[in-house]
Amino acid sequence: MLGLLLLWASLSMACVFFVGAPLWVFFKNFIPMKIPAGISHPKKLLLFYCTYELVFTWGKILEKMNICSMGKFVRFLHDLAPLRKDPDVVVTDLRFGTIPVKVYQPRNSCSTLRTGILYYHGGGALVGSLKTYHAICLNLCKESDSVVLSIGYRKMPDCKYPVIFTDCMAATVQFLKSLSSFGVDPARVVVGGDSIGGSVAVVMCQQLLKSPHLPKIRAQMVIYAGLQCLDFQSPANQQNNVPFVTRSFTLQYLMAYLNIDPSWKRDMITGANMPPQIREKYRKWLGHENIPERFKQKGYCQKPAPPLNDLAYQETRIVLELNMSPLLEEDEVMSQMPEAFIVSCEYDYFRDHSLLYKKRLEDLGIPVTWFHVEDGFHGALAVIDIPFLYFPCSRRIMNAMVNFIKRL
């Protein structure tokens, strides 16, 4: 009898996992979700998003059963995909201390030193890995004839803020100290990344200004990055409720990453966690008047600041740290930043961060190459080498990155 009960329980769980979860995801997302008309291949994007949601749902089920954390399960599935090989690129797995890295080097010999690219992958410090970003780094290496270093920093749930920055800084410094062994020109080192990796790239540039003994960073590539955690009412925040990064998703994992109690979510969204003097201090850089009018044409309404909830401020003030909000760095530092390549996507919750960063740098005289993707969405670059998930905007972003690197 006990054996039958265990069999029945196992079959029931399998049914929930493989039948119930897919049906729930389908009816929750596929039917009600509306993909903006401006995105090419909308049905393909919707199918991609439902698959993405299903993997996360399975991960949450396993987490609730204390079998495996959601983040580890998602990374495990992502990493099952085979890695593409290219005869023109040599890929080497190394460790800088305890930090795993992948080095991508063109196979053909070169009489001169090459450009070196430090790439920090995206994934919200929850997902993403050296394997899932293999295709991006392989393409960057081959097409720009550069040496690429991809950094496998530690992630949630085991490691939270500020581990991503300490890991990336340690690996970055190690690479900068050993450029000659990789055949990299010290005058042509580029840092770059997408999503949270783009934010890391900006922070690395700012922090390395304090280390004049290291090679100077030549340029930064900032791909649809999140660069501040104060304002969640910008035009893009109000307009974009499209797949992959929504307001709810962003706040949920941001608060988990920073160990902020979820009860303060509403105060963070409305801005009630920020004192008026802080809002006023940073308005010159974060104010919506700094965003071009064409990005405010649909679904945007300027909202008055709510009364301060001082308890919320005390509990969430960590978002003011420059690692989390590098857009708040003072002009004295920002004016020393290297030339920038900035990508913004029209259908991205973080779109306005790119626009504000672009204006900030340009106002300080920093050269900026801006690439705005009218049909782009957050995470578009990550599917560049998946044939059945091909989106034209992915290839355009990669081409723009390669062209920028080539002309440095």
Active-site residue numbers?
Answer: 195, 348, 378
Distance (Å, whole) CA 208 – CA 206: 6
Residue ranges with strand state E in 264-303: none
Q: Exposure string (b/e) for 195-218, b if CB count within 10 Å is 16 or more?
A: bbbbbbbbbbbbbbbeeeebbebb
List residues bridging with 105 in a β-sheet: 90
Which two structure tokens, joined as six digits, stand for 371? 């690439």
SS3 call for 118: strand
DSSP conformation letters of 143-197: HHT-EEEEE----TTT--TTHHHHHHHHHHHHHHHTGGGGTEEEEEEEEEEETHH
Question: Tokens 């900030």 correspond to what residue?
Answer: 360
Contact present, 102 and 133 (Cβ < 8 Å): no
* Tokens 């974009």 found at: 240
Residue 117: strand pairing partners: 148, 190
Chain centroid to Cα 279, Å, comes to 25
**How far from 332 is each of 105, 206, 314, 335, CA to CA, in Å?**
36, 11, 28, 6
CA dihedral 164, 170, 173, 177 (to 10 degrees): -150
Nearest to 282 by CA among 335, 328, 330, 232: 328
Query: How far, CA to CA in Å, does 185 sit from each of 231, 232, 384?
Result: 39, 40, 28
Q: How far apart are CA 304 and CA 56, in angstroms?
A: 36
DSSP string, 138-155: HHHHHHHT-EEEEE----
Q: How far is 296 from 302, CA to CA, in rounded Å?
A: 10
Q: How long a stretch of residues is the chain? A: 408
Residue 347: phi and psi, rounded to 5, are -105, 65
